[in-house]
Structures are given as structure tokens and as C-alpha cells.
């Protein structure tokens, strides 16, 4: 498993909408094509279906197509296929923790907290998909920030579909204070993006080179979200 660029770390977050595109069809091959275009070292995925038992599912296909290790993080468990978060990475995995962010009475939510070998240091990535209601996000962001403050890596990243469109809301203010505010390109809806729902925060901030939405023709069709991509300077 080789990294696309040894001089740069590429991270991405992508809500794949169960691989259903703008045309209403489930076409995992389009998602795989977008991931090949990005060529990321780490990809946080949301709205992913994973096989409950046996067989080859969509996540396994995406891992094979990108030459990545898959880390499932389902939050809803069904008889045929589970549903929730996932992580794909080309970097060696040191540890994985599944974090329950569920709020009573709301859809189950969670995060995947991983420590990855980035060569000269540890890249810690916390990938999540937060709730739709403001009170959910406030509770979930508090939990994540407490966790991220404990045993930090050489680079710490919070990444995912944050579902926060209130620019003046407390969750964003808390996150910007902890990480220092990064760029936030619009990623939703994919055809004419207006909202920056998908985010990447990096600490220390000097490691963040660039954040941008991946706007290829396939990305505009493959899901209702565009991927957000960040370039990082690796630890030295």
C-alpha cells in the first residue's frame, strides 16, 4: 500500500448518501471513481452501508478500489446491512476506538477515533457525522473536544459531516477556538453547493496547507454532497 504523495498528507470527508446519486440510482462505481480522483491517504465516509455478515459489500469494494484499509463505524444495526460511518486509509493503523455520540430520542450517531502512523509522527483522526438538531450538535461537539484534548497526536484532525449551517452557533465557535478556524468551502447540495456541512479541522493549524471542495463532473453526480479535501504537511 503506497501513499500517493510522500511529501503531503491528503485527507477527505465524503457523505456518499448510500451511493445514491442525483439521478436516484445506487452506483457504487461512481463513488469509487471520485475517491480515485482524490487519491487521499485518509477518507472519512458518512451514510455508508456495510455487510452485516459475510459477502462483499460496498465498503469492501471501495477499500479494494482505492487500495485502502477499511475501518467500519456503523451506528445503526440492521439484519441485512449496517449503516453509519467508515474510514478508509492508506496509512498504518495504530489504534481504533468507536465513540458513541447518540442523544436519547434522536438517530444514533458516533465517531471513529483512530491513530495512524504518518511516518515521523502520529496522525490522530476523529471522523464523525453529527446530528440534525442544534442541541444534539452542542452535546456531541462537547464530547468530541473533551476526547481530542486527551492524549493528542502530532497532528489532530476532526473531520466529517458536521451538519452545522448556523455560522453563529456555539458548536462552530467552540471548534474554531480549539483548532483555529480553517477555510470552509460549500459542499451541499452537490450540483450547486451553498452550505459548508462537511468540514476538516487541523491542529496545529500550521500543518494545514489547503482546504477545498472536490468539484469534478463525477462528484457532482455521485452523491448529494461533494467531498471536502485537505492537504497537510506531514510531521517531521
How many folded domains does the chain comprise? 1
Is 3 part of any domain?
no
The whole-angstrom distance between residue 129's C-alpha and the CA centroid of its chain comes to 8
Is 2 part of any domain?
no
Is 66 part of any domain?
yes
Q: What is the pLDDT of residue 2?
A: 59
Q: What is the pLDDT of residue 6?
A: 75
Tell me if residue 75 falls in helix, strand or coil.
strand
Return the CATH number at 171.
3.60.10.10
Is 214 part of any domain?
yes
Q: What is the pLDDT of residue 55?
A: 45
Domain limits for position 128? 9-232
Q: What is the pLDDT of residue 135?
A: 94
Q: Divide the 236 residues of the chain into consecutive groups of 10 and give the mean pLDDT of each group.
A: 77 96 94 97 94 67 94 85 92 98 96 96 98 96 96 96 87 95 97 96 97 98 98 91
Please choose, from the candidates 207, 126, 191, the residue with its C-alpha nearest in 3D space to the C-alpha of residue 162. 126
Is 163 part of any domain?
yes
Work out the burial of residue 52: count CB atoms within 10 Å of its CB; fewer than 13 is exposed, 13-18 middle, 19 or more buried.
Answer: middle
The whole-angstrom separation of Cα 38 and Cα 152 is: 27
Q: What is the pLDDT of residue 51?
A: 66
Tell me if residue 135 falls in helix, strand or coil.
helix
Is 67 part of any domain?
yes
Is 4 part of any domain?
no
Is 89 part of any domain?
yes
Amino acid at each position: 500500500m503506497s501513499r500517493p504523495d510522500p511529501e503531503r498528507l491528503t485527507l477527505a470527508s465524503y457523505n456518499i448518501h448510500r451511493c445514491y446519486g442525483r439521478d436516484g440510482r445506487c452506483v457504487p462505481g461512481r463513488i469509487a471513481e471520485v475517491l480515485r480522483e482524490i487519491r487521499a491517504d485518509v477518507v472519512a465516509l458518512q451514510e455508508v452501508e456495510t455487510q452485516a455478515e459475510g459477502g462483499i459489500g460496498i465498503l469492501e469494494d471501495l477499500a479494494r478500489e482505492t487500495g485502502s484499509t477499511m475501518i467500519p463505524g456503523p451506528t445503526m444495526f440492521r439484519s441485512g446491512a449496517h449503516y453509519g460511518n467508515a474510514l478508509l486509509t492508506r496509512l498504518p493503523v495504530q489504534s481504533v476506538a468507536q465513540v458513541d455520540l447518540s442523544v436519547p430520542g434522536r438517530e444514533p450517531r458516533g465517531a471513529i477515533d483512530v491513530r495512524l502512523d504518518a511516518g515521523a509522527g502520529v496522525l490522530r483522526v476523529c471522523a464523525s457525522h453529527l446530528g440534525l438538531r442544534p442541541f444534539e450538535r452542542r452535546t456531541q461537539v462537547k464530547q468530541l473536544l473533551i476526547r481530542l484534548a486527551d492524549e493528542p497526536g502530532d497532528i489532530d484532525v476532526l473531520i466529517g459531516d458536521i451538519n452545522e449551517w448556523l455560522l453563529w452557533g456555539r458548536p462552530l465557535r467552540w471548534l474554531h477556538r480549539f483548532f483555529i478556524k480553517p477555510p470552509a468551502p460549500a459542499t451541499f447540495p452537490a450540483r450547486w453547493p451553498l452550505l459548508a456541512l462537511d468540514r476538516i479541522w487541523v491542529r496545529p493549524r500550521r500543518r494545514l496547507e489547503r482546504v477545498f471542495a472536490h468539484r469534478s463532473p463525477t462528484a457532482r453526480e455521485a452523491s448529494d454532497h461533494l467531498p471536502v479535501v485537505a492537504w497537510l504537511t506531514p510531521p517531521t
